[in-house]
Amino acid sequence: MDKCLAVVRLTNALQNITLFDIFFLHFFWRTAIENIFHQNIHPKMFSFAAPNEAASGWRTVLVICLLMMIHGGSAIQWNGNWAFACDFNGGDLSQATIPGDQCGGRCAGTPGCSHFTWTTWNGGTCFMKQGQGSKADAFATTDSSMVCGVIDTIQWNGNWAFGCDFVGNDLSSARISSDQCGGYCASTSGCTHFTWTSYAGGTCFMKLGSVSKADAFKTSDNTMVCGVVDGAVVTPTGVTPIGPTMDGKTTRYWDCCKPSCAWPGKAPVSSPVKTCQANGVTKLSDPNAVSGCNANNKQAYTCNDNQPWAINNNLAYGFAAANIKGSSENGWCCGCYKLDFTSGPVVGKSLIVQVTNTGGDLGENHFDLQMPGSGVGLFDGCTSQWGLPTPVWGQTYGGVTSRQACFGLPAAIQAGCLFRFDWFMGADNPTMKFAKVACPAELEARTQCVRNG
């Protein structure tokens, strides 16, 4: 009998495999091989419609099929770092419902993901995996629609590498060449690590917080550069409450106006909150400078350094407008409060803010967090300060609706907008518990406003 025809018909019998058949393989494999090589297989052995007529022949056929699968199966055909019809055991990290051709990129952009599998389950699901996964760990499957792959490891050149990135913790950015990014970070207060991309002709994104090379993840863009700065240490200020803990709520805003606590006589402080010229950098010495939200003679605006920044994954610093029950501007201007979030994706995180403003639209125990691109609210000083049309700033209350929209803002305040979608995880007005704390020196240094006692 033609062996090729026999193999084809044997393959169709795989659906009949049972546990008993597997045990049978152990006892009869030697007989099966002898029959194959001596061509002593009776034609009835291939008649699957009548297994009772040729029971022993059917078992021998099964043995042949199993041996063919075990020893004659095709190897995985790799296309670089990915292949069809393969899988990895365990190591599941997370999953996403996306097309197969996006799975590798999603894995590369997911911290901790080292390899992946994509299947048609649930309309198409990418299973991202963690741990030491290599091509040698993959195994072949019978589903030719499946995709599996591995992510290249980062090749470090000392403290920097190509094709890598760090998640969040943006401090500031500068449009400089890639070979200048590390040095720029090292000379920038608070910068501990950095990422350079070709965005806007070449942008260095400086980042802060405790970090190591192990926190970097591989990207598919080999022009990107990431690195860490030797000896960079960030030690958060102690945060022992010095007042009662109360329940509160939050909203967000960035109106670019002169803050209320920047006017003289508001509270017993070393000096009112510093304001800036329209460039957001040059600080004004005159506390009576006219607000940029005034109809005429616009002079004073919110300084760029009043945007929030992360200390680590669970602690950040920033600024806010507030209205605290039983108090007034005299009691809260330039005071600092620790906000422990109790709802939304930021549960377990804390934000220490210095109060620089208030608002007629704020209720009791209400903190309006300053984040660029979070809505101008009642007053819009951003359009006049930056000369950008109103739509760039997003909705009046709420601001921009995506991380990508942050890149439409002026480069100097993009980091604070990205903070909202990275560290703040896109939280929408989370509730919190708050208490007064001693002001971190980092906050007072930016506003140059210190309470007297």
Q: How far is CA 374 from CA 77, 256, 364, 368, 424, in A?
A: 49, 11, 21, 10, 12
Q: What is the mean pLDDT of residues 362-377?
A: 94
Residue 255 annotated among the catalytic residues of the structure: yes
Is the predicted pLDDT of residue 329 greater than 80, yes or no?
A: yes
How close are the terminal C-alpha atoms of the chain, in Å? 101
Closest to 321 (Cα-Cα) out of 250, 272, 264:
250
Decide: helix, strand or coil at residue 109.
coil
342: how many CB neighbours lie within 10 A of its CB? 15
Q: Which residue has the higher pLDDT, 359 or 358?
A: 358
**pLDDT in the model for residue 23:** 46
**pLDDT in the model for residue 361:** 82
Residue in 170, 255, 305, 380 annotated catalytic: 255
Q: Residue 196 and residue 216: Cα distance in Å, rounded?
A: 13
pLDDT tens track for 13-70: 343 444 444 444 444 444 444 444 444 444 333 333 444 444 445 454 444 444 444 4
**pLDDT in the model for residue 77:** 92
Q: What is the mean pLDDT of residues 94-116?
A: 85
**pLDDT in the model for residue 74:** 57
Q: Residue 233 and residue 101: Cα distance in Å, rounded?
A: 40
Closest to 46 (Cα-Cα) out of 25, 64, 31, 61:
61
Q: How far is CA 92 from CA 46, 95, 127, 133, 398, in A?
A: 42, 8, 7, 11, 36
Q: Are 60 and 28 in contact (CB under 8 A)?
A: yes
pLDDT tens track for 399-450: 999 999 999 999 999 999 999 999 999 999 999 999 999 999 889 999 999 9
If you search the block for the tokens 């991380």, which residue do you land on? 403
Segments of 283-424 assigned E as strands? 309-310, 315-323, 336-341, 350-357, 366-370
Residue 368 annotated among the catalytic residues of the structure: yes
Q: What is the mean pLDDT of residues 95-109?
A: 87
**pLDDT in the model for residue 98:** 92
**pLDDT in the model for residue 22:** 46
pLDDT tens track for 107-143: 877 767 889 999 999 999 999 998 777 788 899 999 9
Decide: helix, strand or coil at residue 339.
strand
Closest to 48 (Cα-Cα) out of 1, 3, 15:
15
Q: Which residue has the higher pLDDT, 394 or 32?
A: 394
If you search the block for the tokens 């350094």, which residue do you land on? 305
**Confidence band, pLDDT 50/70/90 cuts, at residue 71:** very low
Q: Are 207 and 152 in contact (CB under 8 A)?
A: no
Q: Which residue has the higher pLDDT, 57 or 106?
A: 106
pTM of the model: 0.52
Q: What is the mean pLDDT of residues 354-381?
A: 92
Q: Residue 173 and residue 179: Cα distance in Å, rounded?
A: 15
The string of DSSP codes covering 62-96 is HHHHHHHHHHHPPPP-EETTEEESEE--S-EEEEE
Structure tokens at 339: 């906000």
Residue in 87, 165, 305, 368 annotated catalytic: 368
Q: Residue 434 and residue 411: Cα distance in Å, rounded?
A: 32
Is the predicted pLDDT of residue 240 greater than 80, yes or no?
A: no
Q: Kindly report which listed range (15-19, 85-89, 278-282, 358-362) carries the lowest average pLDDT score.
A: 15-19
Decide: helix, strand or coil at residue 7.
helix
Q: Residue 263 and residue 71: Cα distance in Å, rounded?
A: 83
**pLDDT in the model for residue 290:** 94
Q: Residue 359 and residue 323: Cα distance in Å, rounded?
A: 7
**pLDDT in the model for residue 237:** 45
Structure tokens at 236: 């958060």
Average pLDDT value for the chain: 82
**pLDDT in the model for residue 202:** 94
Cβ-based burial of 122 (10 A; exposed 0-12, middle 13-18, buried ≥19)? exposed
**pLDDT in the model for residue 327:** 93
pLDDT tens track for 159-197: 899 989 988 888 889 899 998 899 888 878 778 899 999
**Confidence band, pLDDT 50/70/90 cuts, at residue 231:** low
Q: Residue 206 and residue 226: Cα distance in Å, rounded?
A: 10
Q: How far is CA 147 from CA 41, 388, 422, in A?
A: 39, 45, 30
Q: What is the mean pLDDT of residues 240-246?
A: 85
Is the predicted pLDDT of residue 230 greater than 70, yes or no?
A: yes
pLDDT tens track for 291-311: 999 878 889 999 999 999 988
Q: Are 212 and 156 in contact (CB under 8 A)?
A: no
Q: Residue 172 and residue 180: Cα distance in Å, rounded?
A: 15
Closest to 126 (Cα-Cα) out of 145, 106, 108, 142:
106
Q: Residue 47 and residue 26: Cα distance in Å, rounded?
A: 23
Q: Residue 385 and residue 280: Cα distance in Å, rounded?
A: 8
- At residue 348's C-alpha, the angle toward residues 345 and 349, to 5°, is 80
Q: What is the mean pLDDT of residues 247-263?
A: 96
Closest to 333 (Cα-Cα) out of 345, 324, 341:
324
If you search the block for the tokens 């006892």, which residue do you land on? 27
